[in-house]
Amino acid sequence: MPCLPENIEAMIKILSGDVQRVRGRRRLLVNDFLTDNDPLCLEDIDLEDSPLEIAEILSSLATTSLFNPRKMVVLRNLSRRADLRERVADILAGVADGVSLVIVEGKLDKKTSFGKFLSGHPAHQEYRAYQGAELESWLVEVAAARQSRLSRSAAAYLIQQVGSDSLALGNEIRKLSVYPEITRELIDRLVLPVPSSQIFDLLDALMRGDLTAAVRLYDDQRQQKNEPLSILGIFVWQLRILLVAKKAGGSNIVAEFGINQFALRKAQALAANMSMAQLGRLIDLCRRTDERIRREFINPDEALRYLIFRGCYLKRAAA
C-alpha cells in the first residue's frame, strides 16, 4: 500500500473497537462538526448498504462546497466491502484540504492486511470495551443523558441480567429510560435475562439444596424455548468456571473463559461456599446425564429435571 503524506493525518480519524463506544465517539465528532457547519456539508455513509463505488468516494473526498470550505465524510463499515478494502490507502490519500474523513469500524482483524494497515495508522483510535466499575458508570451516564435515573447497584444488576456486551446494554437502557427511574424491579419486569445468567442462579439454587427455586428457574428457561441440551451445555460451562475458581482463582478464570468482572465475582462467591467433593459429584452427574441423553435416547427434559432433583439431594445429603 502506498505511503501517505505526513500532513494528511490531522484530517483523518479512524475509530475501531467496542461498537457502543465507537458509535458514541462518532456522534461526538459529528455533533462538533455540525455546531459550526451546515448539515449539507456532512456525508455519513454506511458502506455495507451503499452502492457507492470507489470513484464516487474519491470524488466526495476531493471536493468541498463553494459556500463552505469545510466538509466531513463519515465512512462506516468499510471492511464489509472487499472492493473498497483493497483501496483503503487510496481513500486515505485522497482527502483534500478542508475535508475531514472519519472511518468507523468495529473490532479490526489485525491478521488481515486491511486491519494491520488501519490499526497501524497514526490516526487510529481504538476503544476497548468498558469493564467493571467503568461499565456501571457508563450505564449511569447513558441513562442520565436520556433523563432517567439509574443507581450503580441497579446498573450492576442490569449487567448481571444482560451480560457485559455494551450494545445489548445500550439497547436495554434505551428501552428502560422511558421511565424516570430505572429500578431493579423495573429491570425484572421488562428485561429478559440471558440464559447464562438465569442458569447460574439455577446452579446457585442447586448448591443451596433449594429444589423449589431450582425447578422454577428451569421452568423459566423452558418457557423461553431454551432446549434441555443447551441448558446442560451452559450448566457444564459454568461448572468448569467454578472448578477453575476453586483451584486457581480469578485471574485464571478471566484468562481461560474471558468472562466479565460481574460474572467473576458471582463465580467466586459460589465457589467459596462449596467443597471440591460436592463440585466433583455434580460434574459427574452432568456427565452421566449427557451420556444417557445421547446413548439411551431418554427424554432430555425429564433427564434435566432428574439432574436438578439429584443435585439438590446431593447438597442435602452433605448437610
What digits encode the pLDDT tens for the residues 193-239?
776 777 888 888 888 889 999 999 999 888 888 888 888 888 888 88
Q: Is the pLDDT of residue 272 over 50?
A: yes
From 104, 127, 150, the end of a domain falls on 127
239 falls within a domain: yes
**Shared domain check, 283 and 269:** yes
Count of structural domains, the chain: 3
Lowest mean pLDDT among 1-5, 76-80, 117-121, 286-290: 1-5
**Shared domain check, 231 and 146:** no
Radius of gyration of the chain (CA): 26
271 Cβ partners below 8 Å, 6+ apart?
Answer: 242, 245, 246, 279
Distance of alpha carbon 245 from alpha carbon 237, whole angstroms: 13
- Residue 16's pLDDT is 95
Which cell is 80 given? 464489509
**Shared domain check, 214 and 292:** yes
Domain containing residue 97: 6-127
Distance of alpha carbon 113 from alpha carbon 103, whole angstroms: 16
Which cell is 11 given? 484530517
- Is 154:184 a contact under the CB 8 Å cutoff? yes
Domain harbouring 173, CATH code:
1.10.8.60
From 101, 127, 153, the end of a domain falls on 127
Distance of alpha carbon 285 from alpha carbon 292, whole angstroms: 11
96 falls within a domain: yes
Query: Mean pLDDT over all residues of the chain?
Result: 84
pLDDT, one tens digit per residue, over 286-302 is 989 988 888 888 899 99
1 falls within a domain: no
**Shared domain check, 266 and 298:** yes
Domain harbouring 79, CATH code:
3.40.50.300
Q: How many CB atoms lie within 10 A of CB 94?
A: 18
